[in-house]
């Protein structure tokens, strides 16, 4: 697999994004996300100390792996595999050179990887890796991948015949005497994974998810809804038949200055995953712990809270507590949600995280877009990129 030639072109046929062919590609949930990073060992330390993850499996020279080193970090149902290259010819090295640390693989748990792969490819997906079996004394893991936006791949993972640790080749991490015991921050599951794509490509990718994977379009935000004085973006949210998997897709819209999406595309050098939203059922507790651990969050002006109750109505949490931590609230017809966004977690202004607590609401915090973008643009200006 050569990253230089991996620019994926989505099928360009005019299938409406709302058209689905039934649930021909059943998905059980997110299996894991794999990030290619410059140094998996040090990234794992950051994810553990700052975000409260626990390293549960490793692979590398000590486990017989010659080309890459990986640490799996877990919290609740969230699994993030951090992989770095042990040799410059490995894909992870080329990916980091171009994108910096970024999401390389979105792995979905499926009942049958072969069926998912052949359904996707027969509907126009480009194969990244044909179905293959990884086996050890704990059983067999069946997996296959198709290409996604930029250099990302979507992997289908079938674990029904595997009872081991994360996968063949992985071992428990070595015990480090005196190391602090892992302390979770209350993150429970991946809620959604958002991509930024180039101007004019959002619809193509919405069609891709509809045609290739049978997803529905959940919502669409145009640049009228998401704009500030300076920049604008458009967004479509695609979700699978069960509603478990949600992939919002953003593209920049014409604005007076460089949009946050363009800044991402410039520094990521192409499309890719912009943010990963993690669900919690105690956002105040989670953010309090994350902040103590040194995680930096975007702040909206204090005036945001002045009219919050008029806008979202009665919510269980005291507004003062939300204001203290900079947590945002929004309401849709199904309920309300609380959310907050970290600053980028690497030097490039690319990948960041969202923490979200849902009380019925199925949206994405549309009511917060404007105040958020103003906060984002303040950061962008500080970076000299507005
Ligand atoms: Fe989000």
Mean pLDDT for the chain?
90
Q: How far is the CA of 162 from the centre of ligand 1 (A)?
A: 32
Give residue 307 CA to ligand 1 midpoint distance, Å: 23
- For 83-123, the pLDDT digits (tens) are 999 999 999 999 999 999 999 999 999 999 999 999 999 99
Going from the Cα of 204 to the center of ligand 1, the distance in angstroms, rounded, reads 20
pLDDT of residue 225: 66
Distance 332 CA to ligand 1 centre (A): 15
The pLDDT of 305-330, averaged and rounded, is 92
pLDDT at 325 over 50: yes
pLDDT beyond 70 at 7 = no
Indicate the pTM of the whole model. Answer: 0.92
Q: How far is the CA of 208 from the centre of ligand 1 (A)?
A: 20
Model pLDDT for residues 70-89, shown as the tens digit of each residue: 999 999 999 999 999 999 99
Q: What is the pLDDT of residue 18?
A: 42
**pLDDT for 209-232, tens place per residue?**
999 999 999 888 776 666 676 667
pLDDT category, 39, cuts 50, 70, 90? very high
CA 290/CA 373 separation, integer angstroms: 22
The pLDDT value recorded for residue 270 is 98
Determine the pLDDT at residue 220.
84
Handedness of CA 283, 288, 289, 292 (dihedral sign): positive
Task: Phi first, then psi: give them for residue 240, nearest 5 degrees.
Answer: -75, 175
Q: In the structure, what pLDDT confidence band is assigned to residue 16 with cuts at 50, 70 and 90?
A: very low
Cα 277 to ligand 1 centroid, rounded to whole Å: 6
156 CA distance to ligand 1 centroid (A)? 23
- Structure token digits, residue 365: 């915090």
Adjacency order of strands within the sheet including 29-36: 54-59, 68-75, 78-85, 29-36, 102-109, 153-158, 139-147, 127-136
Q: What percent of the chain has pLDDT over 70?
A: 92
Q: What is the pLDDT of residue 1?
A: 40
Q: What's the 341 CA to ligand 1 centre distance in angstroms?
A: 8
In the predicted model, what is the mean pLDDT of residues 28-32? 97
| pLDDT, tens digit (0-9, with 9 covering 90-100), for 251-273 | 988 776 778 899 999 999 999 99
Dihedral sign computed on CA atoms, order 11, 193, 294, 322: positive
Q: Give residue-wise pLDDT tens across range 326-382.
A: 999 999 999 999 999 999 999 999 999 999 999 999 988 888 887 787 788 888 888
Distance 280 CA to ligand 1 centre (A): 14
* pLDDT for 5: 39
Does 242 or 131 have the greater pLDDT score?
A: 131
Cα distance between residue 341 and residue 324, in whole Å: 15
Domains in the chain, CATH or no CATH each: 17-158 (3.10.180.10), 187-383 (3.10.180.10)
CA 352, chain centre distance (Å): 8
| Centroid of ligand 1 to alpha carbon of 192 (angstroms) | 7
What distance in angstroms lies between residue 362's CA and the mean position of ligand 1's atoms? 11
- pLDDT score recorded for residue 6: 43
How far away, in angstroms, is 60 Cα from ligand 1 center? Answer: 33
């Amino acid at each position: 697999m050569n990253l230089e030639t991996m620019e994926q072109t989505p099928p360009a046929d005019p299938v409406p994004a709302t058209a689905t062919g039934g649930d021909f590609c059943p998905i059980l949930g997110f299996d894991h996300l794999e990030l290619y990073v410059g140094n998996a060992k040090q990234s794992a330390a950051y994810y553990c100390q700052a975000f409260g993850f626990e390293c549960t499996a490793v692979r590398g020279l000590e486990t017989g792996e010659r080309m890459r080193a990986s640490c799996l970090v877990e919290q609740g149902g969230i699994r993030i595999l951090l992989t770095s290259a042990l040799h410059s010819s490995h894909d992870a090295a080329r990916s980091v050179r171009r994108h910096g640390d970024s999401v390389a693989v979105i792995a979905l748990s499926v009942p049958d990887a072969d069926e998912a792969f052949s359904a996707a490819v027969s509907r126009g997906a480009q194969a990244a890796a044909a179905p293959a079996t990884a086996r050890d004394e704990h059983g067999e893991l069946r997996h296959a991948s198709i290409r996604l936006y930029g250099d990302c791949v979507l992997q289908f993972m079938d674990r029904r015949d595997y009872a081991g640790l994360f996968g063949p080749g992985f071992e428990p991490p070595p015990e480090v005497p005196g190391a602090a015991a892992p302390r979770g921050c209350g993150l429970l599951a991946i809620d959604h994974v958002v991509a930024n794509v180039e101007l004019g490509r959002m619809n193509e990718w919405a069609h891709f998810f509809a045609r290739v994977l049978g997803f529905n379009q959940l919502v669409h935000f145009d640049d009228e809804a998401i704009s500030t004085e300076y920049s604008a973006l458009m967004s479509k949210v695609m979700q699978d038949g069960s509603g478990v998997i949600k992939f919002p897709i953003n593209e920049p819209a014409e604005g007076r200055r460089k949009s946050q999406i363009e800044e991402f595309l410039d520094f990521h050098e192409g499309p890719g995953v912009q943010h990963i939203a993690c669900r919690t059922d105690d956002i105040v507790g989670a953010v309090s712990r994350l902040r103590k651990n040194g995680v930096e969050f975007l702040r909206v002006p204090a005036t945001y809270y002045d009219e919050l109750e008029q806008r979202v109505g009665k919510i269980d949490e005291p507004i003062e507590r939300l204001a203290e931590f900079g947590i945002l609230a929004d309401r849709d017809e199904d309920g309300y949600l609380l959310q907050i966004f970290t600053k980028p977690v690497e030097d490039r202004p690319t990948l960041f995280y969202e923490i979200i607590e849902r009380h019925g609401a199925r949206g994405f915090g549309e009511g917060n877009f404007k105040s958020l973008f103003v906060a984002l643009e303040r950061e962008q200006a500080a970076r000299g990129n507005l």
